Each structure stands twice: as C-alpha cells, then as structure tokens.
Structure 1
Amino acid sequence: MAYLSEAAVEQVVLDHLARLGYAILSDAEIGPDGKAPQREAYADVVLAKRLAAAIEKLNPAIPAEARGDALRKVLATEKPSLVEENRRLHKLMVEGVDVEFYAEDGTIRGDKVRLIDFADVAANDWLATGQFTVIQGSINRRPDIVIFVNGLPLSVIELKAPGGENATLTGAHNQLQTYKAQIPSLFRTNAVLVTSDGITARIGSLTADQERFMPWRTTDGKVIAAKGQPELDTLIEGIFERRRLLDLLHDFTVFGETGSGISKIIAGYHQFHAVRHAVEKTVEASAPQGDCKVGVIWHTQGSGKSLLMAFYAGQLVRCAELENPTIVVITDRNDLDDQLFGTFSMCRDLIRQTPIQADSRDDLQSALSRASGGVIFTTIQKFSPATGETIYPMLSDRRNIVVIADEAHRSQYGFRAKIERNTGKIAYGFAKYLRDALPNASFIGFTGTPIEKDDVNTPAVFGEYIDVYDISRAVEDGATVPIYYESRLARIELPEAEKPKIDAEIEELTEDEATTEQERIKRKWATVEALVGSEKRLSMVAADLVRHFEDRVAAMDGKAMVVCMSRRICVALYQHIVALRPDWHSDDDAAGKIKVVMTGSAADPQAWQPHIGTKGRRDLLAKRAKDPKDSLKLVIVRDMWLTGFDAPSMHTMYIDKPMKGHGLMQAIARVNR
C-alpha cells in the first residue's frame, strides 16, 4: 500500500493554497536565517515589514506617525490571557485601530487605521508558509502551515500523515493545544484552526475543544460533500478561498461569556451559507416589486439556530440595499425571548448596536416609530388587538423592516378567521395582525423542525425553504448526537368501556393551539391528567425512573430531564422520587440532586410553593443544570426548558405526557447536544 508522508500532505495543501492566490514561501526563505528574512528573530510571529507595508498602502491619508502608533498597538501584548488578547486584536482587525494625529489646521483629529481591506480582496497580502519555526524561551516548535494576511498569522493548520500510527485528528488537536500553551504569541491574531489526518479535516476556533472542531463540507453551500469522501480539499477550498476567509473573520466570528470564561465561536458551514442565501432572498423580497416573503430556514435543534439568526441580523445591518433596516425578532414565549435576546446581546459587535426588548404594545410602537435602524425583540402576543377589536393599528409602513420569526411554523401565525364559541366574535391568527401592523415588512421564518405537510400558514406568511440542515446531516457532522428511544410503560388502570374515549381525547391533546382552542380541550386534558397522575401509577413511574437513571449514570455520567403532563404531577412525582431517595432533596436551591422547574403564583396550593420561586431561582437552576460538575442531576418540568435550553451534559429525557409533532421534536432536542 502506498504511504503518503506528512510532508507530502503538507505540499498538497500548499499547492491548493497557491491555486487560491496565496504566495507560498518556506521558512527557510523568510525566517531570520533565511535568504530573504522577513522577521528579526524566531520569537517574532507577526511579519512586521509586511504589516507596515499593508498599513501604509491601505491608509495613505493618515500620517506616518499615526500609522506607526497603530503598528505598535498590534505588536504589543496588552491583555494577560490569550483569549482576551485575541478578542482585542480581532476587534482591531475588523474595525481598525483608533489613532489621533494633528491635522493640517493644527487641530487634533481621530481616525481608524485599517489593518485589512475587507472590500477588496486583492488589496491584501496573502502568504502561506510551511514549517514555520517559533522559539519562545527554551521551547522550539514548528507548526505545519501558517497562513498570513498582511503579515498577521490568521490560521494554523496541523496535519498528520494518513495511515501513520499516531496520525489522528485527536493527535493534531492535542498538538495545537500544546502550541497554544507553549508559543501563545502565534495565536494572538488567530482566526481559524484546522486539523487533518490527510483525509478527514476539521475547523475550530481558538477556544474550541475537540468536540467543537467541525467538518466543512461545501464550497458553495449548494453541493454538500457526501459523508466518507476525503474532506481536506473541500475544507481548504471552502474556508481559505480568500473572499470566504475574510467574510468568516469579519461577519461570522463572535466572542461570548460562558460559565468557564470567554468562548470564541466561528460559524459552521451550514450557518455561513444559509445566511448568505437568506440575505440574497431578503434583498429580493424587500425590493419595491418584492412579495415580502423571504422564506424559511429549517436548521435542526442543537445546530446553532440562535447564532444563525444573529449572524443573519449582522449581515442585514451591513447590507446597503436595505438602507439601515429595522429588525424585529418575534418569539412566542417570554423565556424564548430572553434566551434569544441574550444571544443577540452577545453578538452586539456584529449587529453594530445593542438590541432592545419591547415589554408592552406602547414600547413596540415607540421602538418602531424610528426612521431606520434598531433590533427590537418582542413576543407574538404583543400583536394582539385590544379587547373587542379585530384590527391591529399600523405601526410602520416602511419597506426596510425585516421580521424574524422564531419557530415560525406554529399555529399562531395563521391568517384564517376563527369564531370564538363563547362570544361569537371573530378572531384571526397573529399573521394577519402582524401584516396590519407592518404592511410592507419582509418576513423570514426560522424553525428547528420541518414544516408539516398540512401547514398552509407557514408558506403563506414566510415563503418556501431557503436552507435545510436536518437531523441526519447534523448527526453526521457531529453538531448533534444521535438520539435513541426506549419505550417504558406505566399502565393506566381504567374501565374497559372508557378506553376508546380516552384514546380519542389523548389524540386531540396539544399545547400549541391558540388560547381559545386550549379552553375547548381543558376538560379532556383534565380527565386524562387525573388518570396519568394517579398515586399508584406515579409510584410505579418513580421507582422505574430512579432505577433506570441510576443505571444510566453508572454507565455514563450526566443529567436527565423528566417531562410531566401538569404542574400537579411534577410536584407529586418529585415527592415520590424523594421518598425513595431522601438524600436527593434539599430545601436550598443551590443544593440537592433533583428540582422541579415551573412557574406559578401565590394562589397555587401550598405544596407547590417551594417549587415555584422567582426568575432568579430558575436562572440559578439553569446554571446548575448546565454545569456538568454541579450536583443537580435531575430536573422535572412541564413545559419549561423544552425549547431553547442547551445543556450538553443532559443525556436522558423521560417523557410522561402526550406529545407529538414539532413539540416532541423540540423537546427531545434538549438531549441531542
């Protein structure tokens, strides 16, 4: 069998980069001891002469002294941690370096020195070099390939020879971690890291663990390379095509605070290309002759849909054709509104502004009265007309408003009129009221589950699919993990004559209907709830659940979520479980192995009160549930946390309520991270 050496793999990659327009020079040529040295010492990782030349070329109107100040700000390390320093330099690369200088009239003037020209790819200096030697103290390291733009090292590629004994992605990833620890200066301006064994290939950010190094399976976003095909060529073409690399750096990179510090996030290929396609469709839909329907993006839960929406908003803000649009982000629940708002707030540098939340109809009206700009969060219920009215007042007739609807396929978005049984009044779906309020806005829907075949509302409001990233592809890419179903039965005891009636009632139960529909099925729900929540049955469920969960965590450490039919059952099941395992209980919210997460009020029964608490309590429990080291292992919910809650350590879900369709899909996605 032919053996391909690491040097041969390296040369293949360098040849590919040359075809993409990079100059290829070896460290033997440009190193301190080379024929044409471009750095003074092996400790220097920025090619200062190239950077100085680029700064002069890109900023001819700024005095040489100010350009020199900008160069010094880049070369000098200012932050104690590598990630913080990387964040600082990322901002300088994207936004420019602030400088001050004396103008000709003697006044002090401020300006920005550009380090990279993001508009004109060819105006930059593109270089790739192999075996780039870096010496810091007594440490001597030689990364395989380093890619420079204007003398700044933007990428490190670590390669292994296919078929070698230690030639694995894990080995390449570990080597990058060693480099980060031993020669951190090389990573101060890093944009992307790449690992490959010559066949498989992965891209990750400076802070990504191995699990978050992902494949890049397309070059154009239309043709997806099949699983099992060699990945390295597609990744190099897909990321390092010069326009794409600049876009990834400028528009698809964010830093966020996590429980363990700052995290750097780079868009995956599915997010990168979905945003590009969506922006094109938005420009078409919002044009004077456009139909205001941008389309629907279906990206399965757990694949980064919230970040996708933020990247999309960032692109809209920069889109000249939209003339500084106003972006309205709509969810159908307050907790989802808070979660999405948190993601957008984290991305405020990308969207160039701080988003706001409209807490009332008056807030919404005030926020939309502006001439342009703004990112406004609100819930769909704010678009309900005042009592006794069927028309919602117009808030703005501008065309440069884009409405982003999260979970766009829900039944609330209908246009059809419904007659309320109790009052005989006509009520419409929220889509009509949205159109009343924003008659010329363009609408885009994001969903984590597919549009159902009989759903006519979603295409009518938003249009057809723009991009699809389904469960099978997410699992193939490692963006989500496979889900396995295990049936466990806890019998409901009831007379034979009642069984057909109960079956029919369960079939009709759903929690996604409009409020009037919920009223109609309350009686049916109550009948089934009483049977499901009987003491004898809950005792069986608790015993089975405890036994199964203890076996599960003995095999694989992690956490679980229990989904119950009602708040009463949540509390009752909790009591049955702690009767079996008293040491799992604690009155302290910061302690204990099991908790109920639910909302409520002072009017609820006394036995429920310890489990209700405030938003602060729920936030504390969410933090505990997401921390794999925390003692909280089991949470019981009715509908809290079934959408938008991301806890990778949560590997098991026990469902003990009727669920179907997208509600079920969203729930089980809590354990696919």
Structure 2
Amino acid sequence: MDIKEKRFEQDIESYMLNYGGYTKGNLSTYNRETAIDLPKLIQYIKATQPKEWQKYERNYGADAEKRLYKRFQECVDTFGLTYVLKHGFEDRGAKIKIVSFKENTTLNDSVLADYNSNIVTCTRQFKYSTENENSIDMVLSVNGIPVVALELKDQLTGQSVANAKKQFMTDRNPKEFCFRFDNRFLVYFAVDLYEVAMTTKLDGEKTFFLPFNQGSNGAGNVGGKGNPENKNGYATSYLWEKVLTKDSLLNILQRFLQRVEEEKIVYSNGKEVKKKSVKLIFPRFHQLDVVSKLVADVKDNGSGHNYLIQHSAGSGKSNSIAWLAYQLTELHDKDNKPIFTSVIVVNDRTVLDRQTQNTIYGFDHTKGVVEKIDDDKHSADLKAAINNGKKIIITTIQKFPYIYNEIDDTTDRRFAIIVDEAHNSQTGKNAAKLKTALADTEDALREYAELEGLAEDEVKDQEDKLVDEMLSHGKHKNLSFFAFTATPKSKTLEIFGTPRENGKGFRPFHIYSMKQAIEEGFILDVLKNFMHYKTCYRIAKQTPDNPEVPANKAVKAVLRYKELHPHNIAQKTAIIIETYRSVTKNKINGRAKAMVVTASRLHAIRYYHEMKRYIESHGYDDVEILIAFSGVVKDGEFEYTEEGLNKRKDGTTIKESQLPSEFNKDEYAMLVVAEKYQTGFDEPLLHTMFVDKKLKDVKAVQTLSRLNRICPGKTDTFVLDFVNTADDIQKAFEPYYEATYLDEEINVNMIYDTRQLLRQKGIYDENDIQEFLKIFLKKDQNDSDLGTLTSLLKPVVARYEAMNEEERFEVKKTVKNFNKWYSYITQISRMFDRSLQEEYTYTQYLEKMLPPVSDTRNVDLEDKLKLEYYKIQEDFHGDISLAPTEATKTLENPKSLKTAGFMSEEDALLEEIISKINERFDGIFSEGDRVIVETLYNRAKENKKLNRQAQKNDEEVYTKSIFPEVFKQVAQDCYMEQMKAFSKLFEDKRFYDTVMATLAQETYRTSNRV
C-alpha cells in the first residue's frame, strides 16, 4: 500500500473532483505576481454578465481585462476580498459580480444558471511564489481567485498537523502578495489523518491556529477534543466531504465568513489609547454545524418548534447567534415564502448585552435590517420595530410586559426568538408576556372553541380577558425558540429541550461541552488549581446570664457574628493580599487580576476597608482595589455607595458604568464584589478568585467561570475558597461539564394539588374570587375600580394577619408557589381550565397584598459573644477532577409542588446554641492553645493603662505601636511563670503574631464599646 503523503493528497483530490463539485486546476494561466487566474475570472464574467462585460469593452476597449483587474484590486485593497466576493464592485456604470451565490428561493432560474457557471478548481502542488518554487499541497479557487490553502501531513510518514502549522508559520512569508490578509487566501487549513487546525491570517511565528475538529464523539454530541473514528475513511474526511465541497464553501463565503473591524481601549504609559484592528471570522466546526442543523430543521419542519443549544463558555456563542439570526431572516419554505417575519434576539439582563448586540450589528448587513432596542430606547421602540416587521430586533425581555397588548395582529406572522443565556427569566412572567405579544392564537382559538362547543366567532365576540390569556398558553405554530445556554436548568430543558430517545425527559438539541472547550484550549479549567481553607473557631458566651433566644435566628446571628468579626476578616484579608502578591501578581506577564466574592454588601464593605488598611499598614504600593455592589449600605453610623468608594488617584469618581473598563487598567489589581459581576463579566485578565460565600449549583459554575477566559500569557487560574469544599464544587460542576439532561416531564396535574393546599388554608373562597373578577373583568373600567379591588382583598389580608407566624408563612409560600408553577406550566401546556385561570388571576393580586412574614423578635447577640479562639488552615489544594455519570448530569423535575416547611422558632438557651455551632466548626485547637489565649486576654484586659491608650488612639496606632510592646511584656511574664505552658508562643512565630493581632483588635474593641 502507498503510504506516502501524495496518496493522502490524491485521495482528497479524487473526492473533490468526483463528488465535491470541483474541476481539476492547473497553473497554466495563473499569474504569480497578481495571484489570480484572470482568464478564468473573465470567463466567468462573460458567461454570467455579458451585458456588464460589453460595457467594460465599450469603456476600455483592448485594455478591458487589465482595467477590470485594476479596479478589482483597488476594491480589494480598500474593502478586502471578503467584501468584494459578496458585493462585487462598480466601474463606470458597470456592476460586476465576482462570484454567484445561491438564493433562498427557487423562483429565479437565471440565478441557478449563474451559480452553476462558477469555476471552482482544486489544484495540487500550487506554486505561488515569485521568489522560489515553493508550493502549497492543495488550493481551492473560485473563479480564478485562490481562497483556501491546505497543507497535508501523514502520520504514517512521521509528520502531523503540528508540522503543517509550522510550515505555514515558518515557510510561508506573509508578505507574499497571495498571503496578505484578506487579499487572496481567506483560510488556511493544517490537516493530518486525525486532526484539522485553521487560521485566517498568516503572521509568521505569531500565527494563531484554532482547532477545526468535530469533537471526539462527533459534532453536537458529548465529547472532548479530536475527531471520532471513521470506519469508512479518514477521521478528517469531514473537511473535504462536508465543509469544502463547492456548495458548502460558497455558502460559507456568502453567509458565514465575516470581516469585522474592532476598536479596543488599551492602556499605554497610563493613557487610554484606542486601538483598531480587523479580523476575519471563519466559523469553527461546531458553529458551522449548529447553525446548519438548526436552519435545516426549520427548513424541513417550519416554525413552531423549540431548540436548546448547550454551548459552553468559549464556544463563540455571540457569533453563532449572529449567523443564526441572519440566516433565519433569509429562510424560505417550499412555496418560496419567508418562514419568519422577524427574528428577535432577547436576553434577560436589564442592560442589553453589548457583546451579542455588537457582534450582530458588526456583521456585514444591509442598513435597516437590524434594530437595536438598547439602553437609549424604550418599550415603544420595541413595539414599533415588531409592528413594522423589522428583520432582526435585539432587545431585553424586560421590555415586553409594557407592550404585550399593543402589538398588531400577529395572524400569519411568524417569529424566531433567539434567547441569549436562557435561564429563569424564560420561565416567568416576562416570558409569558413575550408569548402573549407575539403568539398567533388562531389554532388555540379553534381548539378552545371545539372544547367549549362554540363557534370561533362566538368566542371572539365574548371579548373575555381570561380566554385571551388562556389562548396564549402552551406552544404556538408561529413561534420558534432557539435558546442558548451553558448551564440549563430543569425548566429550561423542559421548555426548550428535545425529547430523549428513550422517551423519558429532555436533552439539548446541540452540545459543545465545557469539557471540549477546555480540551481544545478555548477556555481554561478553573478547577485545576483549587484551594480550600477551613476555618476553625470557638465562640464563647460573655454574659453571666443564659437567655432563651429563638434558635434559628440565634444560629444565624452567631454565624454572622463570626463572619463579620474583625479578626475573621483580618485573617482572611492577610491571606488574600499575600496570596495575590505571591501567586497572582506575576501571572499573565504581570497583569493578572483577582476578584473577592463576598457573602453580602456589608461583608464587601468590611473587606474593602480591611484590605485598604492592610495594604497601607504594610506599605504595599502594588495593590489597588475596587468594589462593586448595588445601592446604599449602612455600617454603623456610616453610609457607603459603590461610586462613593471607587475613586481614581486624582480623586475623580469612577461611575458604575465605567467600572469594567477601569478595572481593566494595569493600576487596579483586585475587585471586591457582592452580587455583582458574578455572571456575564468578561475580563480575560482575571486570574484568581477568593470566595467567602456559599455557592450552589449553577451559581457556583457561573461565578468560578469568570476566570476561564483566555488571553495571551494566561496559562492557568487559581481559586481560593474559604467556604465551599472541593466536594461542593465538584457536585455543582458535574451536571454541566459534558451535557445536561432532564429525567422526565413534569406532571402538570400537580398544579391542582397546589390549589387544593391553598384552599385548605381557608383565607379565601370561591365567592371572594368571583366578586373580585366581576370588577377585574368589567369592559368599561372607571377610576374607582382599582380601589374596589383592593377593598375586596382587605378582609382576606385581615384573615391572614390574624394567623400565627407559621400559618402566615405557609399561606404566603403556597400562594407564591401556585403563581410560580401555574405561570411555568402554562408555558409548556395549554390546559384551558377557566377555574384555574380565575384562581391565578386572583392570587397574582393577592400575593402582592399579603404582608411579608416577619418576626419582631430580632436577635442581637453582639455583646453576648466573643471569639474565643480562631484558626484558618489549608484543607485541600489540587485538581478537582470531573467524571460525571448519567445520574450526576441528569436533573430531576419536582415530584410535588409543596412548599418548603416552616422552621419553627423554638427557644433555646444561648449556651446550648453556641456549643452546637462550636461542634460543627471547631478545629484542632488544644486545651493548651485555649489556656494561652485566655490567660493573655485576661491579663491585657486588666491593664488599665492599655485600656486608656485604646480609648485615646485610633485603632492602627494602638494595634501597631502600643499593643505589641505591652503584649510582649505580658507574654514574657506568663512564660517566666509557666515556661512549659507558654513555650509554643515563642517557638511558633506565626502563632505568636496571630494571637497578638487577635488580642489587639479584641481589646481595642472592648475598650471602645459604648
């Protein structure tokens, strides 16, 4: 058998010529200087545009061919070859096409004839240079223009895709005319028997190749890097059998390949500099695959279907959404009618996602096709865009509740809704209003009329608001949803997912897994370098009495006391700052940044101040911090806002909207956050995360994934977690590492059980509902009707308020549960149960009127507790490996819709509560440790001079200058009295420093307590 590289080359050529739509190329008329086969281009133009060519000949006579090339190259130099291939060029009244693309309809026979006149050639050993006889293994040309270059390697001859990449990087001079960016070749493939890589720009040693593989189990399936085994040929045959056939290549050139201009703000010598760049975007294989499969499915099955795309971070989701949006607008059915009136791209952030918006708008498009309903526009603009039939509309889902009943008749209008980051917002009231606004309810009307034994016109004539609401429930033939997310929840899977092959539950339509993204190098594995610190402490009661306090609230109060204790925050701050300086600072060429994730806004404030104090007291000038939180936070007598704390060195305020770009500057090292920037924040320089907050499930994945973005020089990440163990994080990540499934459909009849539970509470009855609806459903509302409605709800609220705390809790939760689940179930099922709809209409308003459950017995234990001793120690450091099973990656639907039980507040003795907490969190303190700390604390506390100094000086002077000297003397006195007992204090410097710092803060706090 011939195992030489030429055999590989020959096999590819054979397929391209026999099945791929190519003719065999030769170089007889190819000009190396101009890098074009001009006779072939002229041949194509004469065949497809004879009248335009006649204009050329009339204008230029014998120089027509030269002048055509001159004008062609002028336009390529100005706009790039990508643009010229798509749009052609004009010259003195002649409009010239360079290539003919297929249209989305079959109405125009001449267009198909032009398409078939394209001259696509496959040339082996393509000699391109004016300097030497170097050749490219294989080149694909369109109408004489070389656009695809392939270097082929064969493992059987000892070479691989790595050698092919190196050949492009070292042996192909990017200054050669044919290799200039967007001038001739538009994509370069490095290919061997098992893998493919590609790039759109040759840049010598800096050339950046992307993997162009299917994934180990094939495109769209669960797997890692590489390609699956191909029993019928080469593992990489998909490249020439699927991607580079004539039809596929021309489709990519027309609908996928994009020349994009970007403007970024970079910082040079402390100044902002706008840096412009141009790049070509050629789809990665999974992007090409998902868009092609979605478009094909819609083409075959029409509108009215839902699709869930589970694509990891690093998948290039914004590009996939943009390609899909444009191609759905062009899609026609078998009768050559557009399938969709409009494509609406929605996300659930209050502020429109700029990355997706800019990507869609940045793609080459006809002016007026895209309408951005961004921060400067309102719901009225969204209404106008929908009513006017704009082709692509980009908006947030929050705008729909304001205009859902103002959209023009949607009969015979179809909508594709692309959901960017499909999470809870797609299961709630905003999503329901979106469907109400856009749904064509003719089919639902027909179904309802049949069930009720009425004619459709009779139903319409009733003008019944409840019926109108019910008609919007369930799925609709005019609405197709395309939901993109990396972390689907169970509701997301049920609404958008595809039924599984075993008939149970749901799966994503297409998958590009976290595992594959990591293995292909598009994101970093944030679990590779995970450290957990265990906090060990003991809390003591420092009050002679032993009061009874509400147990649950007391436990929370004690834990909060520990979390906010100055010593706790001080110890963790020291670890955070020193870890940043020793681990993080020198990463990413000295530009690495860190994020501190805190449990609350007050925690963030305390951390921010302690970190600033620590940095200043140690004289560090290389750690500048920023903080992110919402609203106003009160800490003691002081009030804080984000903008009030974030100041530049010149004293100017960093506005909330400026924070991401400011944090990107080299002068800022760390960002302290409280419920902000844990999702959707894209800062590639973020290397390290310090977590002091309980994280669960999707929240853990989203938060830690802020670190996974890649950038030059970034090779790893680091997570230091004070709260969540390695097992906690592993459990959170496993459902989303490969693919996520749902075990079974939800039982929609459970909503009846929930209603029955609610009725059993006895705060309202059927008569209350009907009296309310008489007013609510009136056709002609007057000014007093709202007051009447609230008056009707007052007796119900009074019954609620007369209940005890546990009963109020159960009622409030059950009402909320009923509303939440009814809203969700009616998105997936059309129930047509009027009594349920009536109840839901009533309970929506009732929920708003019911006061929250509150316990007036607030527990303040601040003066009754003291932190007796405290240690923080490394508990785990290493790689959290993920190996999800079918069970761990399958989410479960609830088997009942019952509310969570009320936690009764039984009173317990404070001493008992403290003991239970200490049992959970106690560390490896010896009794000797306790003796040392307690003895030193009591001696220091009894020192009246020290007490006066604490009251006269600020904390920093006291803890750094005054207390250390006193502590040293006290410690020496104790040592002289009991050498054996106190020897550890002088043998372990870290123990000495920790005890001293703790007692300094504690004695200062005690002395200054009012």
TM-score, normalization by structure 2 = 0.53
Map 1:263-662 onto structure 2 (within 5 A): 263-282=279-298, 287=303, 292-321=304-333, 322=338, 325-349=341-365, 353-358=369-374, 359-370=377-388, 372-385=389-402, 392-394=405-407, 397=410, 399-410=413-424, 412-414=425-427, 429-440=429-440, 441-453=478-490, 458-459=495-496, 465-484=508-527, 486-489=530-533, 491=535, 501=552, 532-553=563-584, 556-557=587-588, 558-582=592-616, 593-598=624-629, 600=631, 605=640, 609-611=644-646, 613-614=654-655, 617-621=658-662, 623-624=664-665, 630=666, 632-662=668-698
CA distance in 1, matches of 2:574, 2:2: 57
Counterpart residue identity of residue 181, structure 1:
P
CA offsets 1:436-478 (integer angstroms, 9 cap, x no match): 2112352424332343346676349999732222212323333
Alignment check: 8 A CA contact 1:593 1:631 kept: yes
CA offsets 1:164-213 (integer angstroms, 9 cap, x no match): 77755266246246525231434513232101344322123227966551
Quote how far apart the aligned CAs of 1:343 are. Answer: 1.8
Counterpart residue number, 1:13: 12
- Three-state SS of the structure 2 residue aligned to 1:144 is strand
Distance 1:581 1:255, change over 3 A: farther
Map 1:201-280 onto structure 2 (within 5 A): 201-206=196-201, 212-217=209-214, 221=219, 227=227, 229=229, 231-256=235-260, 257-259=262-264, 261-280=277-296
CA offsets 1:60-118 (integer angstroms, 9 cap, x no match): 342433485884256425576xxxx6x522111112323453xxxxxxxx745242334
Alignment pair present for 1:127 and 2:127: no
Quote how far apart the aligned CAs of 1:241 are. Answer: 1.9
Counterpart residue number, 1:181: 174
CA distance in 1, matches of 2:418, 2:538: 47
Quote how far apart the aligned CAs of 1:258 are. Answer: 5.0
Counterpart residue identity of residue 331, structure 2:
C
Alignment pair present for 1:52 and 2:87: no
CA offsets 1:377-397 (integer angstroms, 9 cap, x no match): 2222222359xxxx8544552
Distance 1:499 1:64, change over 3 A: farther
CA distance in 2, matches of 1:563, 1:602: 17
Distance 1:349 1:572, change over 3 A: farther
Counterpart residue identity of residue 404, structure 1:
I
Distance 1:265 1:536, change over 3 A: farther
CA distance in 2, matches of 1:466, 1:490: 41
CA distance in 1, matches of 2:69, 2:607: 64
CA distance in 2, matches of 1:131, 1:536: 72
Counterpart residue identity of residue 122, structure 2:
A
CA distance in 2, matches of 1:561, 1:96: 49
Distance 1:330 1:236, change over 3 A: same
CA offsets 1:255-290 (integer angstroms, 9 cap, x no match): 331536112212112111211222344456765xxx
CA offsets 1:497-555 (integer angstroms, 9 cap, x no match): 999948998xxxxxxxxxxxxxxxxxxxx997775444322222222223333443478
Distance 1:614 1:551, change over 3 A: same
CA distance in 1, matches of 2:633, 2:564: 23
CA distance in 1, matches of 2:396, 2:550: 39
Counterpart residue number, 1:94: 86
Alignment check: 8 A CA contact 1:25 1:127 kept: yes
Distance 1:458 1:10, change over 3 A: same
Farther off after superposition, 468-477 or 203-212: 203-212
- Three-state SS of the structure 1 residue aligned to 2:172 is helix
* Equivalent position to 2:139, from 135, 140, 146: 146
CA distance in 2, matches of 1:192, 1:549: 41
Quote how far apart the aligned CAs of 1:610 are. Answer: 3.3
Counterpart residue number, 2:195: 200
Counterpart residue identity of residue 120, structure 2:
W
Counterpart residue identity of residue 213, structure 2:
W
CA distance in 1, matches of 2:356, 2:558: 36
CA distance in 2, matches of 1:170, 1:543: 48
Alignment check: 8 A CA contact 1:563 1:653 kept: yes
Quote how far apart the aligned CAs of 1:149 are. Answer: 1.3
Identity of aligned residues (%): 18
CA distance in 1, matches of 2:554, 2:11: 63
CA distance in 1, matches of 2:360, 2:555: 43
Alignment check: 8 A CA contact 1:205 1:264 kept: yes
CA distance in 2, matches of 1:336, 1:643: 14
Farther off after superposition, 568-577 or 302-311: 568-577
Alignment check: 8 A CA contact 1:23 1:126 kept: yes
Which one has a larger percent helix, Structure 1 or Structure 2?
2
CA RMSD in angstroms, aligned pairs only: 4.1
Quote how far apart the aligned CAs of 1:632 are. Answer: 4.2
Structure 2 unmatched ranges of 5 or more: 58-63, 104-111, 265-274, 441-477, 500-505, 541-547, 647-652, 710-1010
Q: How many residues align?
A: 597
Counterpart residue number, 1:38: 29
Alignment check: 8 A CA contact 2:599 2:674 kept: yes
Farther off after superposition, 305-314 or 4-13: 4-13
Alignment check: 8 A CA contact 1:200 1:231 kept: yes
Alignment check: 8 A CA contact 1:10 1:159 kept: yes
| Structure index of larger Rg | 2
Alignment check: 8 A CA contact 1:538 1:573 kept: yes
CA offsets 1:375-431 (integer angstroms, 9 cap, x no match): 222222222359xxxx85445525222222222231x3335xxxxxxxxxxxxx222
Structure 1 unmatched ranges of 5 or more: 32-36, 102-109, 416-428, 506-525, 625-629
Distance 1:212 1:543, change over 3 A: farther
Alignment check: 8 A CA contact 1:449 1:665 kept: no
Distance 1:661 1:140, change over 3 A: same
CA distance in 2, matches of 1:503, 1:116: 75
Quote how far apart the aligned CAs of 1:574 are. Answer: 3.5
Alignment pair present for 1:162 and 2:198: no
TM-score, normalization by structure 1 = 0.76
